[in-house]
Amino acid sequence: MITEKKTRLIEVVLNRPLWQSFTYSLPLELDGGKLVGCRVAVPFGTHRLIGYVWGYTTADKTNTLEVKDVLGRLDANPLLTGSVLELTRWAADYYQAPPGMMMAAAHPPGISGKAERVVTLTGKIDPEHPFSAFLPAGKSIPVKLLRDSMSSTCPLERELSVLEKSGVLRTIWKPVSGPKPVMERIVEAAATDSALTRRADAMKRTAPRQAEILLYLATCEGPVTRRQLIRTTGATVSSLSGLIKKGIVKESYRRRYRESLIRSDIEKEKDIPVLSEAQEYALGVITKSLDRNEVFLIHGVTGSGKTEVYLRVISDVISKGRTALVLVPEISLTPLTVSRFSRRFPGLVTVLHSGMTAGERLDSWNLAKLGERRIVVGPRSAVFAPLPDLGIIVVDEEHDSSYKQNELPRYNSRDVAVVRGRMERIPVILGSASPSMESYGNANSGRYRLLELDSRIDGIPMPSTILIDEGSMHHPLISDELLKGIGRRTAKGEQSIVLINRRGFSPTQMCRNCGHREECPNCGITLTYHRKGQVLRCHYCNHWKAAMIRCPQCGFDEFAHMGPGIQKVEEYLRKLLPETRIIRMDADTTRGKDAHWDILSRFAQGEGDVLLGTQMVAKGHDFPGVTLVGVISADMGLAFPDFRAAERTFQLILQVAGRAGRGKIPGEVIIQTHSLKNPLIKAAANHDFADFWKRESGVRKMFGYPPYGYLVRFVWSGLDKGRVHKAANASVQGISRNDGSISDVLEAAFPRINRRWRWSVIAKSPSRKTLARISREVRKRFESAFHKGVRLEIDVDPYHLL
């Protein structure tokens, strides 16, 4: 390092699964202004990456032989506003997340990652200059391209710097990113589904990527875009072209609409209603404390008009010149909520959503930052939206598990929202008909203020419920009561919703002779049978194979398809009620862009009599025509070895039941279950949250689970079972346990996912501080020894313990 050149040392974090930061030196000309939080381009191994400045340092912490220079600075000021930057740093620390990944999560996608240097013409270049032919006016080209086009004797860097000084051109570092699509390509199969699967199976060894494509087309319903196909199958364009050449697959074009996200055909136009007494009271309480931080939990039964309260509060906030943030579960499943906001506040709302392109999201993000849009509605990641002068945060359906990110960086957006409210000194509203144990616990202890809306709008009664014993039905899956109920509704022009929370046709395909079932070689779990395309699929790692035609064990050719799955229910319903129009909604029918919206709006417009679906149909939909809700195998989720199984099952039943009878005609709910006497199912059937809370909180208290204690989960994984086990043991050995408990090192409930063996440890304590200390120690121990091929993931406040 040249000492007389005055440079500063800085710490940079990268969008990689790494906890540590890296030291670089900052050339003088890049210094100045607010530096922390800015993006910089840095050399990293053989790559050029874009990272975020985390802080200053005096000594090189990386211990590399030589501190490298920052190549370029991308921002004059950090893109994140001061408070969001602080929030992001808090989240990285609290969730023990890789800080660069946390920073990337708080930014719009596509603006970090790999870096490239581009050159743009800014003045007139001598037409004789060797560069001139390669520099089109108004366009940027990568410097690398220029270098490749010049002879190797050309002093490229010197020329660039001379021309830059004289104002002819400018070079900058920017992320390597693709163009924004306007048209999109549609891919279709030119053969029947099962023929595709057979063909795919035959090609599996020789052309695995092409096989993936064929399988995808065979099992997916509706049109598939090329982008989506390649993204989900991981196949390349050339393998697709190969299939097109062979004539198995066809391609065509379709227009892509940028604004397709806010659609209003889900619900009819309504006047702004006069508030009910309960709504008025809640509104009054909240608007009185708009100038300070307080967290409100609105516990309102389904159809009690929670959304209207949010809208009124926001209207108040907006009229004071401030901005508002609304978090919703996956947007594609809650189009109704989204459209209600954009309708009430035309021109003020922008939506952030994972289905948008990177360019679209960047646009929305910037509009919010500039104050051009004053309300942001978005899922999980929108909690970091750069709204200036934020006045309120709303978290709708706060119990929804989609607020918890299930991969790195693992944060819970609802909880980050609460912290953001505290940092910005503004109120936060959490709302749900079935609040999470955590939030209700906080309301009970007085940390949150509870507001109850305990009846439906306009005196509409809660639906009546009957429970049916699945053990004593005539039909294996559909009770007479449900069947008659649907038939009666259809005849009267009313609608029904049927929930069965399992994808596929049935959990297993079993040989009728020897009982053989096919298992996933990566995970050791029985493969799920999908009738469409005749495929067996692992729901954990996506491994698949063609369904058995002959049993590989005994050669027999008859099979039983055991257990319920949504495709089987669909088949039965179509057979038993041939006149009824059924619309199915699950992960397999909603893969296309906008597929969720299409299904929901078709059903809203009466194009179907029955909406049959997985948990997707339990979200906050409001279909006044629905008078019957049926739940098949309501106890299915209870068997999961997870302390949240009861809570999840209760929420699911309560939510789906809440879809019934929201219009003029009273609703009915039919719940089929094998555990008729289960108090939890009974509580859900009676819409009795208080009873559920009493029971479940007793259990949680006894075992120190949330909200009476906190958890951190550590999972070590890798291909070599012994090595993973050893790393896990070494990481927790000798950790002091005062006021916290650490479980033994145990195989995870799913001991092997995607070929990786998994060992886990759960730490539990009533003190978050203790858990943070334990996590840091585990991390330090893990990092201090080299465990080849072993990964450690830390999950703070975990949602799943599988």
- Which positions from 36 through 65 interact with ligand ADP, judged by CB under 6 A? none
Q: How far is the CB of 353 from ligand ADP (least distance, A)?
A: 20
Return the one option of ligand ADP, Zn ion, none that residue 275 interacts with (CB less than 5 to 8 A, by type). ligand ADP
* Pick 266 or 711: Cβ nearer ligand ADP: 266
The residue within the footprint of Zn ion, chosen from 349, 482, 520, 604 (CB under 5 A), is 520
Return the one option of ligand ADP, Zn ion, none that residue 350 interacts with (CB less than 5 to 8 A, by type). none
Give the span between the Cα atoms of 248 and 230, in whole angstroms.
Answer: 16
The residue within the footprint of Zn ion, chosen from 522, 580, 678, 729 (CB under 5 A), is 522
With binding defined as CB under 6 A, does residue 400 bind ligand ADP?
no
Answer for the pair 17, 783: CB distance below 8 angstroms, yes or no. Answer: no
Answer for the pair 556, 580: CB distance below 8 angstroms, yes or no. Answer: no
The residue within the footprint of ligand ADP, chosen from 21, 23, 210, 302 (CB under 6 A), is 302
Binding piece for ligand ADP, criterion CB under 6 A, among 161-169, 268-276, 343-351, 574-582: 268-276
Token couple for 275: 């508030």
* Pick 329 or 565: Cβ nearer Zn ion: 565
With binding defined as CB under 6 A, does residue 664 bind ligand ADP?
no
- Which positions from 520 through 559 interact with ligand ADP, judged by CB under 6 A? none
Closest CA to 613 of 702, 498, 519: 498
With binding defined as CB under 6 A, does residue 303 bind ligand ADP?
yes
The residue within the footprint of ligand ADP, chosen from 165, 205, 255, 270 (CB under 6 A), is 270
Q: How far is the CB of 141 from Zn ion (least distance, A)?
A: 45
- Cα dihedral 78, 83, 88, 94, rounded to 10, equals 150
Return the one option of Zn ion, ligand ADP, none that residue 606 interacts with (CB less than 5 to 8 A, by type). none
With binding defined as CB under 5 A, does residue 535 bind Zn ion?
no
Binding piece for ligand ADP, criterion CB under 6 A, among 58-66, 267-275, 674-682, 699-707: 267-275
- Which positions from 230 through 269 interact with Zn ion, judged by CB under 5 A? none
Return the one option of ligand ADP, Zn ion, none that residue 543 interacts with (CB less than 5 to 8 A, by type). Zn ion
The residue within the footprint of ligand ADP, chosen from 219, 228, 279, 402 (CB under 6 A), is 279
Q: How far is the CB of 527 from Zn ion (least distance, A)?
A: 8
With binding defined as CB under 5 A, does residue 541 bind Zn ion?
yes
Backbone angles phi, psi at 756, to 5 degrees: -90, 130
With binding defined as CB under 5 A, does residue 543 bind Zn ion?
yes
Coil, strand or helix: which one is 698?
Answer: helix
Strands 140-142 and 610-613 turn out to be unpaired
Give the span between the Cα atoms of 432 and 615, in whole angstroms.
Answer: 16
* Pick 136 or 208: Cβ nearer Zn ion: 208
Give the span between the Cα atoms of 192 and 248, in whole angstroms.
Answer: 10
With binding defined as CB under 6 A, does residue 308 bind ligand ADP?
yes
Count of chain residues binding Zn ion (CB under 5 A): 7
Give the span between the Cα atoms of 748 and 701, in whole angstroms.
Answer: 24
Return the one option of ligand ADP, Zn ion, none that residue 276 interacts with (CB less than 5 to 8 A, by type). ligand ADP
The residue within the footprint of ligand ADP, chosen from 195, 275, 285, 665 (CB under 6 A), is 275
Binding piece for ligand ADP, criterion CB under 6 A, among 15-23, 59-67, 295-303, 401-409: 295-303
With binding defined as CB under 6 A, does residue 245 bind ligand ADP?
no
Binding piece for ligand ADP, criterion CB under 6 A, among 272-280, 322-330, 356-364, 562-570: 272-280
- Could you identify the residue written with the tokens 């390669």? 134
- Cα dihedral 336, 342, 344, 346, rounded to 10, equals -160
Q: How far is the CB of 275 from ligand ADP (least distance, A)?
A: 5
Answer for the pair 229, 187: CB distance below 8 angstroms, yes or no. Answer: yes
What binding mask, one character per residue, do residues 424-463 give for ligand ADP by CB under 6 A, x or -? ---------------------------------xx-----
Partners of 796 in the β-ladder = 712
* Pick 245 or 270: Cβ nearer ligand ADP: 270
> Tell me, what amino acid is at 99?
P
Strand arrangement of the beta sheet that strand 375-378 belongs to: 349-351, 375-378, 323-327, 390-395, 428-432, 295-300, 449-453
Backbone angles phi, psi at 534, to 5 degrees: 50, 60
What binding mask, one character per residue, do residues 316-355 give for Zn ion by CB under 5 A, x or -? ----------------------------------------
With binding defined as CB under 6 A, does residue 398 bind ligand ADP?
no
CA atoms in the 13 A half-sphere facing the CB of 113: 11
Closest CA to 234 of 216, 253, 252: 216
What binding mask, one character per residue, do residues 615-634 give for ligand ADP by CB under 6 A, x or -? -----x-x------------
Token couple for 748: 């995870």
With binding defined as CB under 5 A, does residue 538 bind Zn ion?
yes
Q: How far is the CB of 219 from Zn ion (least distance, A)?
A: 16
* Pick 461 or 555: Cβ nearer ligand ADP: 461
The residue within the footprint of ligand ADP, chosen from 81, 304, 350, 760 (CB under 6 A), is 304
With binding defined as CB under 6 A, does residue 273 bind ligand ADP?
yes
Return the one option of ligand ADP, Zn ion, none that residue 305 interacts with (CB less than 5 to 8 A, by type). ligand ADP
Answer for the pair 536, 547: CB distance below 8 angstroms, yes or no. Answer: yes
Coil, strand or helix: which one is 783?
Answer: helix
Residues ≥6 apart with Cβ < 8 Å to 441: 697, 706, 707, 708
Answer for the pair 210, 203: CB distance below 8 angstroms, yes or no. Answer: yes
Judged on CB neighbours under 10 Å (0-12, 13-18, 19+), 770 is buried
Answer for the pair 689, 443: CB distance below 8 angstroms, yes or no. Answer: no
Return the one option of ligand ADP, Zn ion, none that residue 523 interacts with (CB less than 5 to 8 A, by type). Zn ion
Judged on CB neighbours under 10 Å (0-12, 13-18, 19+), 473 is middle
* Pick 308 or 668: Cβ nearer ligand ADP: 308
Return the one option of Zn ion, ligand ADP, none that residue 538 interacts with (CB less than 5 to 8 A, by type). Zn ion
With binding defined as CB under 6 A, does residue 268 bind ligand ADP?
no
* Pick 93 or 454: Cβ nearer ligand ADP: 454
Binding piece for ligand ADP, criterion CB under 6 A, among 28-36, 300-308, 418-426, 579-587: 300-308
* Pick 300 or 379: Cβ nearer ligand ADP: 300
Q: Within 10 Å of residue 191's Cβ, how many Cβ atoms?
A: 16
Helix crossing, 193-203 with 208-219: angle to 10°? 160
Return the one option of ligand ADP, Zn ion, none that residue 37 interacts with (CB less than 5 to 8 A, by type). none
Answer for the pair 563, 505: CB distance below 8 angstroms, yes or no. Answer: no
Return the one option of Zn ion, ligand ADP, none that residue 520 interacts with (CB less than 5 to 8 A, by type). Zn ion
Please state, in angstroms and as integers, the Cα–Cα distance from residue 214 to each residue in 188, 339, 795, following that order: 10, 36, 36
DSSP string, 309-351: HHHHHHHHHHHTT-EEEEE-S-GGG-HHHHHHHHHHSTTTEEE
Closest CA to 218 of 233, 236, 238: 233
Give the span between the Cα atoms of 51 and 57, in whole angstroms.
Answer: 16
* Pick 273 or 552: Cβ nearer ligand ADP: 273
Count of chain residues binding ligand ADP (CB under 6 A): 18
Give the span between the Cα atoms of 195 and 22, in whole angstroms.
Answer: 53
With binding defined as CB under 5 A, does residue 527 bind Zn ion?
no
DSSP string, 380-402: GGGGG---TTEEEEEETTTT-GG
User: Is the Cα torsion angle 422, 423, 429, 434 positive or negative in sign?
Assistant: negative
Binding site for ligand ADP (CB under 6 A): 270, 273-276, 279, 300, 302-308, 457-458, 620, 622
Binding site for Zn ion (CB under 5 A): 520, 522-523, 538, 540-541, 543
